Amino acid sequence: MIRMENICKSFGGRVVLDDVSLDMPEGETLAIIGRSGSGKSVLMKHVIGLLRPNSGRVLVDDTDIGQVSYKTLRGIRRQFGVLFQGGALFDSMNAFDNVAFPLRTFRSDPEHKVRARVLQCLDLVNLSGVETEKPSELSGGMAKRVALARAIALEPRYILYDEPTSGLDPHTSTRINKLINGLAEKLAVTSIVVTHDMRSVLSVADRVAFLHKTRMHWVGTIGALHRSTNKILRDFVKANEYSIGVDVRVSSETVRP
């Protein structure tokens, strides 16, 4: 269970988050939506203490992560898998070693087990044959999927996805959405999906949180989202459905079997 209480954050006097509170119950998938630059990535980084709030606190399983020692915090972070917006692959290593990195660092499995797990994770994100490529040789979408494979390699309890489907073709997006759903159901992980992509929101999220103008403007279930009469929310949803036009109809057939 992750709980954010009254988070305020500003950078050099510019307010990015103003009094943002949010609950993320165990086993749920929460989508955080909002315009580009509305502070979604900043909010996500607060969850694991990569950024510290100016005021307010973040609780992970009832532990205030702002109050614990660095060592304890690192222990808490190990329960998380994080997909960064740009992938954040280590560019000194090839794709295989990137995915193997957490396995080699935190487990003492023999190399053939590591190899099997890496290939399995790459297969889950619909990639094969890229093992020896360096991140600079991968396309943006491929790098993102390698990064996702790395994030799930250690079977984390919590997964944070920052724009998991941006820059991917519709087919791969669908596959990633299915993967997010699969992980949520099979391993009962709690997920936070930061995204623009309303199609992704509709296919993975249990609940939606809408950041607007530094504030948490609206929070509710997918059902409530459909029924909502909040004008700003409706406009946002419409704008982001519209921008992917045809894909919405294609996906409604492929995502929901």
Partner 1 sequence: MPVLQRRLMQPLFSLGRYALLLTKGFVWLGQFSAYRKDLVAQCVRIGIESIPIVALAAAFSGAVTTVQTAYQLVSPFIPSAVIGAVVVQSLILELGAVVTGFILAGRVGARIAAELGTMRVTDQIDALEAMGLNSVGYLIVPRILAGVIMFPVLYVSAVSVGVAGGLLAAAATDVVTMAEFVQGARESYLLFGPTFGLIKSVVFGFVITSISCYMGYFTEGGAEGVGRSTTQAAVISCVFILISDFMLAVLLL
Ligand X SMILES: Nc1ncnc2c1ncn2[C@@H]1O[C@H](COP(=O)(O)OP(=O)(O)O)[C@@H](O)[C@H]1O
> What residues line the site for Mg ion (CB under 5 A)?
41, 85
- Of 47 and 127, which has the nearer Cβ to ligand X? 47
* Site residue total, partner 1 (CB under 8 A): 22
Closest approach of Mg ion to the CB of residue 204, in Å: 17
Closest approach of partner 1 to the CB of residue 216, in Å: 23
Q: Which stretch binds partner 1 (CB under 8 A): 85-93, 122-130, 178-186, 217-225?
A: 85-93
Angle at 256 between CA 252 and CA 257, to 5 degrees: 120
State the residue for tokens 């944070």.
160
- Of 95 and 194, which has the nearer Cβ to Mg ion? 194
48 binds, among ligand X, partner 1, Mg ion, none (CB under 5 to 8 A by kind): partner 1
Which amino acid, one-letter code, is at 211? L
- Of 86 and 182, which has the nearer Cβ to ligand X? 86
| CA 139/CA 121 separation, integer angstroms | 18
- Give how far Cα 99 sits from Cα of 31, 76, 148, 151, Å: 25, 20, 9, 8
Cβ-contact 115, 77 below 8 angstroms: no
How many CB atoms lie under 10 A from the CB of residue 226? 10
Is position 70 an interface residue for partner 1 (rule: CB under 8 A)?
yes
Phi, psi of 68 (to 5 degrees): -90, 165
Q: Which residues bind partner 1 (CB under 8 A)?
A: 45, 48, 50, 70, 74-78, 80, 82, 84-86, 88-91, 101-102, 105-106
